[in-house]
Structure 1
Amino acid sequence: MTVLSSGLTRRELAARIALDIPEGSVVNLGIGAPTLVADAIPEDVEVVLHTENGMLAMGPAPVPGHIDADLNAGKQPVTERPGASYFHHADSFAMMRGGHLDICVLGAFQMSEHGDLANWHTGAADAIPAVGGAMDLAIGAKSVWVMTDLLTRGGTPKLVTQCTYPLTGVGCVTRVYTNHAVFDITPVGFPVRELFGTATIDALASATGLPLRDGRVVPLADRP
């Protein structure tokens, strides 16, 4: 298997994801690495962050010494942006299930070439299931983006032909952001939207075992 360089850090990848979020979007960030996206959204860009426990207009993580213990989401302290509001947990899930979220950014154990997502349980006997609201987000958000490493710590690819872990959602993933590349989900597999660092499509194909293709958009000025 091809050995890839380390690629982007999680904060760098979060900043890259933030660039793709259209202004005015209502977005939910999943627990873990996706919460870093909140820190990368510029103050002058209006993106409304929704939290599963009942908050709209969540801000970036608080700086040390300015933590409000009553403001918590994603299992960590958060801040408010101007106009923030709070509501019942049931209302929050109604927003998620009712198609009111433009984008959700979730972590993952596996994603299949058909857009299937597995991110709540590995199926191992000693693993602790943690579904939370991921199933509701996966079927309710208009676009589902995944933020994850391309490979596990053991070098196993997370992009697969078919998921072997219990599914969170079927055919729900729109785009996958990894530390080495960005992939779109299409009826013909994983086109590579963008490469990071020294990664090449051939190296990614070797590392994942998938027949990847070049799906990068060439700017009009650079087209022949």
Structure 2
Amino acid sequence: MSKLDVRAVIAKRIAQELEEGQVVNLGIGIPTLVTSFMEGKEVYLQSENGLLGMGPPPTEDQVDADLISAGKESITISSGASFFDSADSFAMIRGGHIDVAVLGILQVNTMGEIANWAVPGQPILGVGGAMDLVVGAKKVIGAATLFTKDGEPKVVKDLSYPTSGIRQIELLVTEYAVFAFENGEVIVKEIIGDLSFEELQERLSIPLRNEAISLINM
């Protein structure tokens, strides 16, 4: 499976979690792909640089240099979209008005605490809205490939990257499985890819609880 296909599998599964009428913030990276899998579902997408009503990715002839996401990617807007300044945008986030935040992650520990804004030894561009979204959103879904380019798992016992906040995320969606976190346990809710529960257990090297009821055909 190509890198793009892997990212699409994750984004498509996350889109299934979103409900009609929700206000949803999509982080940079894999989360931005979720807009391609909404399938007519009316969800209000917020971009923290000051937009409520983000649409799907533009075609070549729809690209407008003035319309970009917080990740500086070209976007479209939906009918009735609203524009506002960054202060109002963060007031929405900090005030608890975001139903779901979908965030790319670098690591998540067994308590569901994530790291997603800095890699030790590499330049830091800034925290962005990561910490505000972790604290302010009613539900947080992590989006990530399960392993790094070097094959290291991103689900770990203890974070080695700087934390984004002590709040526990509700779900982590990867190309192999969907995970939940409860009282220090990592729960496999669904098997998506071609690794069995036993293989996931072996490769992650942390205790897992199996609640996967079926193989999901993506």
Normalising by the residue count of structure 1, what TM-score does the alignment of the two structures yield? 0.90
**Is the Cα–Cα contact under 8 Å of residues 190 and 212 in structure 1 kept in the other structure?**
yes
- RMSD over aligned Cα, in angstroms? 1.6
Q: Report the CA distance shift for 1:130/1:217 in structure 2 as closer, same or farther (over 3 A).
A: farther
**Is the Cα–Cα contact under 8 Å of residues 139 and 172 in structure 1 kept in the other structure?**
no
Q: Report the CA distance shift for 1:56/1:37 in structure 2 as closer, same or farther (over 3 A).
A: same
Q: Report the CA distance shift for 1:61/1:121 in structure 2 as closer, same or farther (over 3 A).
A: same
Q: Report the CA distance shift for 1:10/1:70 in structure 2 as closer, same or farther (over 3 A).
A: same
2:6 to 9, 13, 29: 9
Give CA deviations for 1:128-149 in whole Å, capped at 9, x if unaligned. 3441100000000011110001
Q: Report the CA distance shift for 1:6/1:186 in structure 2 as closer, same or farther (over 3 A).
A: farther
Segments of structure 1 that go 5 or more residues without pairing to the other structure are 219-224
1:107 to 90, 104, 108: 104
Partner residue in 2 for 1:172:
168
1:207 to 200, 203, 208: 203
**Is the Cα–Cα contact under 8 Å of residues 21 and 44 in structure 2 kept in the other structure?**
yes
Partner residue in 2 for 1:222:
none
3-state SS of 1:210 partner:
coil
CA shift for structure 1 position 33: 1.2
Normalising by the residue count of structure 2, what TM-score does the alignment of the two structures yield? 0.92
- State whether structure 2 residue 183 is matched by structure 1 residue 187: yes
**Is the Cα–Cα contact under 8 Å of residues 94 and 136 in structure 2 kept in the other structure?**
yes
1:151 to 147, 154, 177: 147
3-state SS of 1:184 partner:
strand
**Is the Cα–Cα contact under 8 Å of residues 39 and 59 in structure 1 kept in the other structure?**
no
CA shift for structure 1 position 172: 3.0
2:92 to 95, 101, 110: 95
Q: How many residues align?
A: 212
Distance in structure 2 (CA, Å) of the matches to 1:123 and 1:197: 30
Give CA deviations for 1:49-103 in whole Å, capped at 9, x if unaligned. 0000010010011011211111111210100111101011100000011110010
Distance in structure 1 (CA, Å) of the matches to 2:84 and 2:206: 44
Distance in structure 1 (CA, Å) of the matches to 2:196 and 2:62: 43
- State whether structure 2 residue 55 is matched by structure 1 residue 59: yes
**Is the Cα–Cα contact under 8 Å of residues 134 and 167 in structure 2 kept in the other structure?**
no
3-state SS of 2:61 partner:
coil
- Between the two structures, name the one with larger relative contact order (CA 8 Å, sep ≥ 6): 1
Letter in structure 1 aligned against 2:161: Y
Give CA deviations for 1:146-203 in whole Å, capped at 9, x if unaligned. 0001010001110011111111111331110011100011114111011113221111
